[in-house]
Amino acid sequence: MSKIGVIMGSKSDLPVMQDAIDILKGFDIEVEVDIVSAHRTPEKLFDYGKNAHSRGFSVIIAGAGGAAHLPGMIASLSPLPVIGVPVKSSNSIDGWDSVLSILQMPGGVPVATVALNGA
């Protein structure tokens, strides 16, 4: 059975991302949760993005605040669908920077985007 990866840029994103985790578990979907920062752990990000499909993931849900690079970076490395969750963080511009960063991916690097804090 396939599984879903739920990743976030910081443990401070977990309260928002917990909703997605709870819903997936409620449907008996296997979920693996991890902190993968585009800025603090770029080597981990590259490894995760390049190898997620071979580890049995079918979708990646990536939550990020501020400049919100995580969803787009993962999408650029992985053939899997990526769902970006913009997170209103303490360093964001009322969450708009996160929303716009995830919405405005370049052509060829699609990221599905949900509402601010909409995990």
Cite the annotated binding site for substrate by residue number. 10, 13, 40
Query: In sequence order, which residues have a C-beta less than 8 Å from that of residue 74 and are 6 or more positions away?
Result: 7, 36, 45, 48, 49, 52, 60, 62, 82
Q: Which residues are annotated as a binding site?
A: 10, 13, 40
Question: 90 φ, ψ to 5°?
Answer: -65, -25
Q: Write the CA distances from 20 to 44, 69, 83, 93, 109, integer angstroms.
A: 22, 19, 11, 24, 23
